[in-house]
Amino acid sequence: MIINEVTDLLQMEHPIIQAPMAGGVTTTELVTSVSNNGGLGMIGAGYMTPIQMREQIREVKEVTSNFGVNLFVPNEFSVSQNAMETAHAVLEPLRKELNIQQDGSELPEAKQFFETFQAQIEVVIEEKVPICSFTFGIPSKEVMMKLKQHSIILMGTATTVREAVANENSGMDLVVVQGSEAGGHRGNFIDGHEESLVGLMSLIPQVVDEVSIPVIAAGGIMDGRGLMASLCLGAKGVQMGTAFLTCIESGAHKIHKKAILHAEEDHIVFTRAFSGKWARGIKNRFIVDMQEHERSFPDFPVQNHLTKSIRKTSSTKNNKDFMSLWGGQSPRLAKIQTVESLIKNIMSEAK
Amino acid sequence: MIINEVTDLLQMEHPIIQAPMAGGVTTTELVTSVSNNGGLGMIGAGYMTPIQMREQIREVKEVTSNFGVNLFVPNEFSVSQNAMETAHAVLEPLRKELNIQQDGSELPEAKQFFETFQAQIEVVIEEKVPICSFTFGIPSKEVMMKLKQHSIILMGTATTVREAVANENSGMDLVVVQGSEAGGHRGNFIDGHEESLVGLMSLIPQVVDEVSIPVIAAGGIMDGRGLMASLCLGAKGVQMGTAFLTCIESGAHKIHKKAILHAEEDHIVFTRAFSGKWARGIKNRFIVDMQEHERSFPDFPVQNHLTKSIRKTSSTKNNKDFMSLWGGQSPRLAKIQTVESLIKNIMSEAK
């Protein structure tokens, strides 16, 4: 048994949070299994419409009252003519190869993302979601205040000490520190990509010394060894992505799960080509072919929009070449197992 | 008290190895203080001539019989006309700015590095050095066998599971795993630079699961928290560089020590510009100015030779702009203190 201020605050039996992986991974079954087995299940709602979000929240609430929702904080972005031309020139041949008709869905404007975010916040409040976490930045003072008025527990994401301090100053109740080991999108929002790649061995103790809110460690943690190491370094809990992604209850594509099980730690690299934001995933044909262009592509979420049909078609065809196979740096520790077995194993190793 | 096969094998009271930082940091005072305070002091002999090496080994032996020597395993390198021209064009203005006369020292041939290494090995054997560690590769079978015949304990360096397995297969008695957090030169010798940047949270448990020799963790470890976390992850000891670099007994330039104390974790970046090999150090004018050219410079050790007078003059003038200010990702945890105090603090936190 590990009891501390985080297990108390988040009403968990174990200090284990399931990372809010967006894009269909965090099924209701995954989220509720995690919470029912003593951890905290999180809905990765970053890409969801307010309607989709409300639907899943209601599904989850039928099974458990303890869960969280993660949202992407929208940022201003600019789209240069050059970047769009590069993306078009490079992606069009791939669309042809995959027999994708010009899908014609219009490029969303920045305004829309801000409006969606506001609507998502309303859903969180209306549905009385107990815990809300954020990635890619910190919401406005107004939003933070509104959520606090409804006693929602707020969790921010940081990749450096500076970002952790900004989270604390904004009123976050906890901060998740994302080490360079982490899979998926980087959460840096003040510091640049290279500068914000700090390993957890360095990141946790330096953040813990500078903030007074509890710190949750994320990145490469897969088992009881990682949990115990994080606690030694001063974290009060862990947030695990890849370990839950390969669970039976997760909605990740079977090809994605399989790719992680067969990956080696040095095959999981950074790319900007899928979404316009740096993210860690398993090296495949798309990552390799796009490497020389990736710095020229438009920013997130524009590039993400432009590659959507490619990723989707690849996934439908069970073709791993063009799928975003996000994963952290510890693939050799991944297993296909139930959430119950994963959490039980962690806690038995952590004794 | 932490007792395990590594403290037994290396005859240390505590599982703490001082990293063999080359270039004048590992003074006899530093090395012997570490060993006399229950750790293992290491002479960073990578850049030393066999004569210099023998001299320091004899000095150290007057104080302690327990210490190690680290050597750089030489590699073939090629020097293209293009790379030399880039280096000349970019470095010459800096030499002018620093009033450096063309120093005229000839570019060493690859052959010379292999000859020096052979001579260094002879010194290790003749002086009955108890422990010898290696960076940048694995020595030939002949060298490994010769050292083993003299019962010298051998320690290799790895940055990935694959490199750790190669070390074990070569006959190393221990392997130091260098996480992406580590300061100074990268030890990768099979995998590429980006691919081999694995954080310790991921690297330690994955290596431990694949090799049967004891694993020593290196990178960003500065205090008892880092030691305990490394042990949780399966390492049997730690090797610490930056933490010893800022000790009073270390030979690092006072400007170097001061720069670490004032650095933040996101100011310690990778550069290839000083030596032709990727290494982590504090961002200064040289790193920033060279960034656009760094991938075009000649390989180690040629670039290292070409920047020597610039680094040396900068250091003599107490000008941090052109010094190689190596350091790991945990500068906020660094202190100016004695070796005795550092080791005592670590072990009191590690209880």
Of B217, B225, B332, the CB nearest to A233: B225
Q: What is the dihedral of CA B109, B111, B117, B119, to 10 degrees?
A: -110
What angle do helix axes B81-97 and B308-316 make, rounded to 10 degrees?
20
Residue with tokens 């959490």: A343
Average pLDDT over residues A299-303: 94
> In Å, what is the CA distance from A245 to each residue of A157, A196, A241?
19, 24, 6
Task: Give pLDDT tens digits for B289-325.
Answer: 999 999 999 999 999 999 999 999 999 999 999 999 9
Instruction: Provide the pairing of β-strand A153-158 with A131-135.
Output: parallel
The sign of the torsion formed by the CA atoms of A14, A20, A24, A27 equals positive
Q: Residue B221's closest CA among A202, A181, A207?
A: A202
SS3 for B92?
helix
Chain B's closest residue to A328, CA to CA, is B202
On the question of pLDDT at A169 being above 90, the answer is yes
Give the rounded percent of residues in chain A with a pLDDT score beyond 90. Answer: 94
Question: What residues contact A127, with CB distance under 8 A and at least 6 apart?
Answer: A54, A57, A58, A61
Task: Give pLDDT tens digits for B26-51.
Answer: 999 999 999 999 999 999 999 999 99
Residue A224 buriedness (CB in 10 A; 0-12 / 13-18 / 19+):
middle
Is residue B103 very low, low, confident or very high in pLDDT (cuts 50, 70, 90)? Answer: low
Q: Which helix (H) or strand (E) holds B344?
A: helix B339-349
On the question of pLDDT at B16 being above 90, the answer is yes
What angle do helix axes B28-36 and B50-61 make, rounded to 10 degrees?
40
Q: Residue A229's closest CA among B342, B218, B204, B327?
A: B204
Q: Residue A201's closest CA among A215, A212, A187, A217?
A: A217
Asked if A220's CB is within 8 angstroms of B234's CB, the reply is no
Task: Give pLDDT tens digits for A247-295.
Answer: 999 999 999 999 999 999 889 999 999 999 999 999 999 999 999 999 9
Which residues share a beta bridge with A70?
A: A44, A133
What angle do helix axes A200-208 and B200-208 make, rounded to 10 degrees?
130
**What pLDDT does A104 receive?**
61
Rounded Cα–Cα distance for residues B205 and A258 (Å): 21
Give the rounded percent of residues in chain A with a pLDDT score beyond 70. Answer: 99
Residues of A whose CB is below 8 A from B327: none
Asked if A195's CB is within 8 angstroms of B180's CB, the reply is no
Chain A's closest residue to B194, CA to CA, is A269
Chain B nearest C-alpha distance from A57 (Å): 33
**What pLDDT does B266 receive?**
84
Of B160, B219, B229, the CB nearest to A229: B229
Chain A nearest C-alpha distance from B237 (Å): 14
Task: Choose the mutation target among B201, B267, B349 for the interface with A, i.e. most A CBs under 10 Å.
Answer: B201
Q: Residue A147's closest CA among A219, A69, A222, A204?
A: A69
**What pLDDT does A249 receive?**
98
Average pLDDT over residues A28-51: 98
Task: Choose the mutation target among A163, A201, A210, A266 for the interface with B, i.e. most B CBs under 10 Å.
Answer: A201
Tokens of A291: 């490497």
Q: Residue B136's closest CA among B48, B211, B74?
A: B74
SS3 for A293?
coil
Is residue A334 very low, low, confident or very high in pLDDT (cuts 50, 70, 90)? Answer: very high
Chain B nearest C-alpha distance from A6 (Å): 19
On the question of pLDDT at B232 being above 90, the answer is yes
Rounded Cα–Cα distance for residues B19 and B238 (Å): 9
Asked if B332's CB is within 8 angstroms of A210's CB, the reply is yes
Of A194, A200, A219, the CB nearest to B269: A194
On the question of pLDDT at B104 being above 70, the answer is no
Is residue B78 very low, low, confident or very high in pLDDT (cuts 50, 70, 90)? Answer: confident
Tokens of A13: 């039996």
Q: Residue B159's closest CA among A226, A285, A199, A282?
A: A199
Mean pLDDT of chain A: 96
Question: What residues contact B101, with CB distance under 8 A and at least 6 apart?
Answer: none
Is residue A103 very low, low, confident or very high in pLDDT (cuts 50, 70, 90)? Answer: low
Size of interface A-B (CB pairs under 8 A): 151
Residues of B whose CB is below 8 A from A234: 225
Chain B's closest residue to A222, CA to CA, is B202
Asked if B199's CB is within 8 angstroms of A199's CB, the reply is yes
Rounded Cα–Cα distance for residues A95 and A272 (Å): 18
Is residue B76 very low, low, confident or very high in pLDDT (cuts 50, 70, 90)? Answer: confident
Task: Give pLDDT tens digits for B131-145.
Answer: 999 999 999 999 999
The CATH number of A5-349 is which of 3.30.70.580, 1.10.1740.10, 1.20.20.10, 3.20.20.70?
A: 3.20.20.70
Task: Give pLDDT tens digits for B290-300.
Answer: 999 999 999 99
Q: Which helix (H) or strand (E) holds B346?
A: helix B339-349
Average pLDDT over residues A212-239: 98
SS3 for B289?
helix
Phi, psi of A285 (to 5 degrees): -60, -40
Distance of CA A279 to the CA centre of its chain: 10
Tokens of A328: 């952290």
Residues of A whose CB is below 8 A from B332: 161, 206, 209-210
Give the rounded percent of residues in chain B with a pLDDT score beyond 90. Answer: 94
Chain B nearest C-alpha distance from A248 (Å): 22
**What pLDDT does A1 receive?**
85
On the question of pLDDT at A105 being above 80, the answer is no
Q: Residue A40's closest CA among A233, A303, A216?
A: A216
Average pLDDT over residues A83-93: 93
